[in-house]
């Protein structure tokens, strides 16, 4: 049986990594050999560190998105297939990427349709952002960022509404109906990575269907480039040392203080992620909007030393983002914790320049 490639797109903060963590863990327990490919404009990814705990095999394509580093992406696929004998490979593109059907799925079908199976494109959507888009509300996002989200949904084979544990069953059904009416040619599913609701249905679809990239979106690359460029991107890894530090509390305090700073500067958060590892334990935290969107999972416990990886995507200049993050890390550390920066990159993405761009849907043979 051929390995299956499952691409899961969606805007920043939609919950892609949490979904892939639960899906990979579930499939691994069922005897599947799972590979995962993460992607970002810079190294030091929270996603890569977190997904290593699935016991799947991780490959990271950093420095450029999948579509602009198509060769790097396909090299990662074949490495997982040949070296790890992966049955299923999940690939998570950069959260601000769109036009995946034209630049990734069609070339994969054309070049490698006989080498591996390609699943329908899933686009994960945060329910609050989906509701706002359907209502014509921007939620503080730049209009070009909203454009990217709409284009992501427009090209999806499967629209997956995430975080349904935050909604009532009535709200979930209503949102599904509204999305199905707006995008009638896509399947609409609802999934909670937290409770597992909808997971089996989604996995059945992406592990059995063969209609990958059944549609193309018409994307204006000037608007697309602007939508990415309005975001500052920061990736950092720090070593932290103190005396019997509660790292879970530290994570919560840092996300809370960052949230306040971004709110005070009227800067919309795409997402802020952090993972703190202390020995064999870890805590992972997420901020995807205002202070109420903060979530903390797992526990790093109390220890003297830890390593923190932090990724931030915020609608502000990179220089200001770096200044705020480093100031708040210093403030939360106070006099009790010594921090040392091991790696730090802060940037604004350049214009997307895909390796391939198809203007037609490739038929699978």
Count of domains observed in the chain: 2
Q: How many helices (DSSP H) and strands (DSSP E) are in the chain? A: 12, 14
- What pLDDT is attached to residue 365? 65
Residues 202 and 285 in one domain: no
Residues 180 and 312 in one domain: no
**Cα separation of 9 and 123, whole Å?**
5
Q: Which residue in the block uniquely carries the two structure tokens 């863990």? A: 25
Residues 72 and 169 in one domain: yes
Residues 148 and 34 in one domain: yes
Find the CATH number of the domain harbouring 139. Answer: 3.40.50.300
**Cα separation of 196 and 19, whole Å?**
9
365 occurs within a structural domain: no
70 occurs within a structural domain: yes
**Cα separation of 304 and 324, whole Å?**
25
- What pLDDT is attached to residue 24? 93
Residues 166 and 250 in one domain: no
352 occurs within a structural domain: no
For residue 171 the two structure tokens come to: 């709200």
Instruction: Give the residue among 51, 50, 1, 56 at the shortest CA–CA distance from 33.
Output: 56
CB 106 within 8 A of CB 356: yes
- What pLDDT is attached to residue 30? 93
Residues in Cβ contact with 113 at an 8 Å cutoff, skipping those fewer than 6 apart: 362, 364, 365
Residues 198 and 100 in one domain: yes
Residues 200 and 261 in one domain: no
3-state helix, strand, coil in the chain (%, to 5): 40, 25, 35
Find the CATH number of the domain harbouring 296. Answer: 3.30.70
Q: Which structural domain range is residue 241 located in?
A: 231-347
Q: What is the DSSP letter of 297?
A: E
Residues 11 and 152 in one domain: yes
Spans of the chain, pLDDT less than 50? none
83 occurs within a structural domain: yes
Residues 23 and 72 in one domain: yes
> pLDDT digits over 40-82, tens only?
776 777 888 888 887 778 888 987 899 999 999 999 999 999 9
299 occurs within a structural domain: yes
**Cα separation of 96 and 189, whole Å?**
21
- What pLDDT is attached to residue 131? 96
Residues 304 and 196 in one domain: no
Residues 325 and 196 in one domain: no
SS3 240: strand
């Amino acid at each position: 049986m051929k390995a299956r490639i499952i691409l899961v797109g969606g805007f920043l903060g939609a919950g892609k990594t949490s979904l892939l963590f639960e899906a990979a863990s579930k499939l691994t327990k069922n005897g599947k050999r799972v590979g995962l490919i993460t992607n970002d404009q810079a190294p030091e990814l929270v996603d890569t560190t977190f997904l290593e705990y699935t016991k799947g095999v991780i490959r990271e394509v950093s420095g450029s998105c999948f579509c602009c580093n198509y060769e790097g992406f396909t090299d990662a696929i074949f490495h997982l297939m040949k070296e790890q004998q992966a049955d299923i490979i999940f690939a998570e593109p950069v959260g601000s990427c769109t036009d995946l059907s034209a630049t990734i799925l069609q070339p994969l079908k054309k070049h490698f349709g006989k080498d591996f199976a390609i699943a329908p494109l899933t686009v994960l959507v945060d329910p609050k952002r989906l509701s706002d888009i359907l209502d014509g509300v921007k939620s503080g996002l730049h209009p070009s960022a909203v454009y990217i989200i709409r284009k992501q949904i427009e090209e999806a084979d499967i629209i997956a509404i995430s975080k349904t544990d935050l909604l009532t069953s009535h709200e979930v059904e209503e949102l599904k109906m509204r999305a199905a009416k707006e995008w009638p040619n896509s399947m609409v599913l609802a999934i909670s990575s937290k409770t597992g609701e909808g997971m089996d249905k989604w996995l059945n679809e992406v592990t059995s269907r063969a209609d990958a990239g059944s549609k193309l979106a018409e994307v204006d690359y000037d608007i697309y480039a602007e939508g990415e460029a309005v975001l500052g991107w920061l990736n950092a890894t720090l070593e932290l040392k103190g005396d019997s530090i509660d790292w879970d509390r530290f994570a919560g305090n840092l996300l809370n203080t960052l949230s306040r700073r971004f709110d005070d500067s009227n800067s919309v958060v795409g997402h802020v992620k952090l993972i703190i590892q202390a020995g064999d334990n870890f805590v992972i935290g997420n901020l995807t909007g205002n202070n109420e969107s903060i979530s903390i999972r797992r526990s790093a416990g109390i220890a003297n030393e830890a390593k923190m990886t932090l990724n931030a995507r915020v609608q502000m200049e990179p220089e200001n983002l770096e200044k705020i993050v480093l100031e708040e890390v210093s403030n939360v550390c106070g006099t009790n914790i010594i921090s040392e920066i091991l790696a730090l990159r802060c940037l604004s993405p350049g214009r997307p320049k895909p390796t391939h761009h198809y203007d037609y849907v490739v038929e699978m043979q």
